[in-house]
Amino acid sequence: MRFSVAASVALIVAVMSILVSALPTYINNAGIKTIAKRPSPKSGAIPPIACYGAAEYTPVANKQGEAEWAAPEEGAETTATEAFKAKAEALKEIVNANPSALAEIQDRGDGYIGQSIVYNNCPFAVHNNIVHAPRPGVDAPPEEMYSILHPGAELSHPFAHDPRMGISWKLWRTDVENTAPVQFEWTWDNTFQRTWYDLSMINAGDAGWLNEDAHEGEAIVSDEDGLGAYVGKVGIRHAFKDEGMTLVPDRTEGNCVPLQCAPGEEYCTASYNAHNDWGQQHDCREGVDLKLTLCG
């Protein structure tokens, strides 16, 4: 079954009111798990579909200590237009390099729902934590699954485990100064038989201007809603910017497309850098596998 752009938009609007998002959690220096408080949205604000990580939060300590949220550094020369063109070329390269993985496939026809996969192609270990809010009607803390992905290791998580819930797969490293997590986020909705997904760099590092020359001497000041006032103008310097990462669905059609944070790209414009950058949400028909490759 195919969905037009209009149909996809209609589904997105309909599902926004029912999806629950995963809570961002960290572990402070005392080894105590903490949950960042979510700011109250302004009246009329559109909530994110896929995950709690698509909103912005007050920085807190993560597992490896305090993450620093300093003023933007100098030297960012990438403009939004240049970044968009570079992204388009990068996606073409992905398609050419992975024709079998990216080719549209037939429905499996066996009730298969799909899964998320993370493969660590990095030469260093990556910490990860799969998090979502308590299930509806359950008075309990958020569900979490923490582990360490060593070089060459792969981990998967079935969508069927969390129907109609926003999931945040947090990934961070400890061999660099920036230990703040990036987020692979998704929601599988069994009513609409679709999976929404995104990458989020929110709170994953320091913010900087995409076009620094146009904002020379201008400070980036967040408010209670984070960096929403700067959507499309700022990016986050995440911990994997030198090595890159690629999120690839095993089918491509419509808004079901691969996402790439290219190696050496200072800001990943294929991800959320502000909570209201709604163009970063993507969706696929039920039965898709979403594979995130770190350092690749």
Per-residue pLDDT of the chain (296 residues; tens, 9 = 90+): 444 444 443 444 333 333 333 333 333 333 323 333 333 333 333 333 333 332 222 222 232 222 222 333 344 334 434 544 454 454 445 445 544 433 333 345 578 999 999 999 999 999 999 998 888 888 888 899 999 999 999 999 999 999 999 999 999 999 999 999 999 999 999 999 999 999 999 999 999 999 988 888 888 888 777 888 888 999 999 999 999 999 999 999 999 999 999 999 999 999 999 999 999 999 999 999 999 999 99
- Rounded distance between C-alpha atoms, residue 27 and residue 31, angstroms: 6
pLDDT at position 109 is: 53
pLDDT at position 93 is: 56
Contact 177, 96 (CB under 8 A): no
Query: % helix / strand / coil in the chain, to the nearest 5?
Result: 15, 30, 55
pLDDT at position 153 is: 98
pLDDT at position 221 is: 85
- Rounded distance between C-alpha atoms, residue 256 and residue 200, angstroms: 17
